[in-house]
Amino acid sequence: MIRRKKYTEAEMVAGCRRNDRKYQEILYRHFFPTMHRMVQRYTTDSDVVLTIINNGFLKVFRKIDTYTQSGSLEGWIRKIIFRSLSDHFRTGKNQLKFLEIEARDVPTVSGALDKLFLEDLLKLVDQLPAISKEVFRLYCIEGFNHKEIGSQLNMSEGTSKWHLSKAREKLRTLVNKQYKDRQYAG
């Protein structure tokens, strides 16, 4: 059995800053599974998933000098990959883009969600109170758990859960109002 050396995040970042391909590959392989799961929430087309991830990691490698090591490396990479995901859907205007939300995220409005465009849903998320919006984004979009969110936002797990519950409740209201006020083709 071949044992591979475990590299620290600091070693990976330092290697990537030197533009060392070995460390870029190590960082890519280390974070790929997590980023793959995150992107797969928005599209099931494996080619699109890989394109988004690869474009995102290219941005990671280009911007690695801006990483200040004040927060988690994974969170910093998630933000870049998510922006790559957003850019992909924003620029692909010739295709219909829908945001898929798991039933656990907004259980009572699944019929309405099928008819909301990504931009529509993100506009509704923007209407949430600031802290609840941030908790919703970290939990539902970026895949962090309540313990991680609590640590990042300096709150308890229970408070994070409460904000998520309030965000879902407000989104249900907004989605139902949006769906009621607008006629969708379908």
77 plus 123 within the same structural domain: no
Whether 134 maps to a domain, the answer reads yes
Q: Is 154 exposed, middle or buried (0-12, 13-18, 19+ CB in 10 A)?
A: exposed
66 plus 32 within the same structural domain: yes
Find where tokens 């990976």 sit: 12
- Cα–Cα distance measured from residue 4 to residue 16, given in angstroms and rounded to the nearest whole number: 19
Q: Model pTM?
A: 0.52
116 plus 81 within the same structural domain: no
In the numeric block, which tokens belong to residue 29? 């392989």
Q: What's the confidence (pLDDT) of residue 2?
A: 56
Q: How many residues comprise the chain? A: 186
Whether 3 maps to a domain, the answer reads no
What is the SS3 assignment for 117? Answer: strand
Distance of CA 132 to the CA centre of its chain: 16
Whether 117 maps to a domain, the answer reads yes
Q: Where are the alpha helices (DSSP H) in 115-156?
A: 118-126, 130-136, 146-153
Residue 90's closest CA among 42, 138, 127, 47? 42
- Cα–Cα distance measured from residue 128 to residue 126, given in angstroms and rounded to the nearest whole number: 5
- Cα–Cα distance measured from residue 144 to residue 178, given in angstroms and rounded to the nearest whole number: 28
Question: What is the 8-class DSSP label of residue 68?
Answer: -
- Cα–Cα distance measured from residue 130 to residue 167, given in angstroms and rounded to the nearest whole number: 10
Q: Which domain CATH number covers 166?
A: 1.10.10.10
Residue 29: which domain range? 9-91
**Beta strands, E only, the chain:** none
Tens-digit pLDDT string for the chain (186 aa): 555 678 888 999 999 999 999 999 999 999 999 999 988 888 878 898 999 999 999 999 999 999 988 778 998 999 999 888 888 877 754 444 444 444 444 434 444 444 455 666 777 788 888 888 888 877 877 777 888 888 888 989 889 899 888 888 888 888 777 666 554 444
Whether 97 maps to a domain, the answer reads no
Q: What's the confidence (pLDDT) of residue 181?
A: 57
